[in-house]
Amino acid sequence: MKKYLSILFVFLFMGMLAFPAHAVDTPYYLSGNIGASLFSGITLNSPTTQIQQGTVQTSASYAVESALGKDFDGFRVEVEAGLQQNKTTGIGAINVVSVLLNGYYDFSDPDEISPYVTAGIGYAGVSAVNYVRSSVLGYQVGFGVIIPINEIVGIDARYRYFGTGTCKFIDNSSEFKLAGSSVLLGLKFKMR
């Protein structure tokens, strides 16, 4: 699964670079964000009967993400790499490493204060030492605002809801889906 998702992202990124000629004047950008992440309580189910086996409580921890993207007159496309961690009762820390293809719609000119909405889909690697190691679908939706500092740098403040497909315990005794929220603050750098 990881191999196929990697190949998909390479082709999607190459397609982004080969976008039509009218987009040549629009800038590429790099961005980085850091903030707090909190997954909802995790409901454990039996993989065979889907009967609930209990819940695992989570506590907030951190989220870090970076991205390379391109602006297309009000729309943006980017490839994002991220890491989230939440502490839990019972199974230790849950780590999520993700690679997502995100789309954005900006409501105003990038040189002004610009609110936006975003959605993304891709790969999520979910792990908890001695309990979980799963490669699943990851997705996100969110909103935010970019506040320009100068022509090159802007402050990016955002909220996102992140979720995964079904993750399984290593011994196949339980399965669950992750879902939760992140509040992030970072910088967006235009590369002209």
Give the separation between CA 65 and CA 98, rounded to whole angstroms: 9
Give the separation between CA 184 and CA 189, rounded to whole angstroms: 16
Residues 74 and 105: beta-carbon distance below 8 Å: yes
Q: Which CATH number fits the domain that encloses residue 34?
A: 2.40.160.20
The predicted pLDDT at position 110 comes to 66
Picking from 168, 167, 190, 164, the residue whose alpha carbon sits closest to that of residue 179 is 164
Residues contacting 152, CB < 8 A, separation 6+: 189, 190, 192
Work out the number of other CB atoms within 10 angstroms of the CB of residue 142. 20
| Number of structural domains found in the chain | 1
The predicted pLDDT at position 12 comes to 44
Residue 66: is its pLDDT beyond 80?
yes
81-106 pLDDT tens trace: 999 999 998 889 999 999 999 999 99
**Summary mean pLDDT of the chain:** 87
Structure pTM? 0.81
The predicted pLDDT at position 7 comes to 46
Buried b (16+ CB within 10 A) or exposed e, 84-101: bbbebeebeebbbbbbbb
Picking from 160, 161, 101, 164, the residue whose alpha carbon sits closest to that of residue 132 is 164
Distance of CA 160 to the CA centre of its chain: 8
Give the range of the structural domain holding residue 162, as residue numbers without chain letter.
2-19+27-191
**Strand 28-39 vs strand 175-191: parallel, antiparallel, or unpaired?**
antiparallel
